[in-house]
Amino acid sequence: MRERRTRVSLALVAAALSQGCSKAPAPAPSADAGLPAATVSRVRIHDGTPPDRRPAPLDTAALEAALGRALTEAGLPVRPGARDGWRVSIEARVAYGLRADDGIAATVAPGTAKVTWAVELRLRPPESTEALHAFIEVADEGAFAGADAAALKTALEGHAAAGMQPVVRAIRRQVEVLGRDVAGLVDGLSDPDPDVRRASAGRLGMLRAAASVPALAARVPVEQDREVLLRMIGALAEIGDDRAAEALIGLANPRDRELLRAVVDALSVVGGPRVVDFFDILSSHDAPDVRAMVSQARARLAPTPLAPPQ
């Protein structure tokens, strides 16, 4: 029996971060509708299996060539060094072998053959100095009844090829979502697929899309996926609009330090009178680390403009 698992995560890599800001994909459409002009500027596949656990080593150069062909067929041509349109850089690690209690078996025997793709993407929009980073993980496995290395290699090649297809679909899906206009990205914030919501929020943050603040602010109180929620908070920080203050304050929970840190950091960028009042309240918290968190955020907070004289 074959089992396949896919997970995609997305995070922004942008200049704003230096200022203190911080599954199974839906099948790709059969045509290129909605896919922006994009090229794959780099493809590298590395062998992630320890050398002493490779009784049937896979040819990573052949996998690299096969992935390039699959990407090209999916509307993402491979053009090393390309600098126009959306550019996708791919670094993949392939781990494979027979499952064992301690990871991967060192010898050939009947069992479960498994191949895991761990793919890191850098997606750079046209004429942008910023990039989006995505991580895709796909595992494909199945029963192996053989007893020699040649049979195991054939089985592993099949699992590698099967796992490659959802990898390509996930890459294509990321490019399609990130290439949408602001209205399309806003629609993506409520998509059933958390990967679409995450990608949409990341791109809106990169665009500093002030028009998306009401939608992001309305979405964060109801978002159930923690990674997506943190990405939305980050997008609000990158946009830096004080209309987000009330929604962010509503998320603050001192019992959840990770979430509180994200909210406080975002509020230090968003600013406004409501944030100043909230920091005044939170600065009297019993926990020293919470007080220190607020103190650091307050130091980054831009001064609130004085009201003009009447």
CA-to-CA distance for 246 and 55, rounded, in angstroms? 58
Domain stop point among 129, 158, 178: 178
Query: What 3-state class would DSSP assign to 160?
Result: helix
Q: What is the mean pLDDT of residues 194-199?
A: 90
Residues 150, 96, single domain; the answer is yes
* Model pLDDT, residue 72: 95
Query: Which DSSP string corresponds to 146-162?
Result: --SHHHHHHHHHHHHHH
Q: Both 28 and 143 in a single domain?
A: yes
The reported pTM is 0.76
d(CA 95, CA 118): 8
> Do residues 8 and 129 both lie within one domain?
yes
The answer as to whether 173 is a domain residue is: yes
Who wins on pLDDT, 310 or 163?
A: 163
Selected residue with higher pLDDT from 28 and 10: 10
118 domain residue, yes or no:
yes
Over range 256-275, report the average pLDDT: 93
The reply to whether 87 and 224 lie within a common domain is no
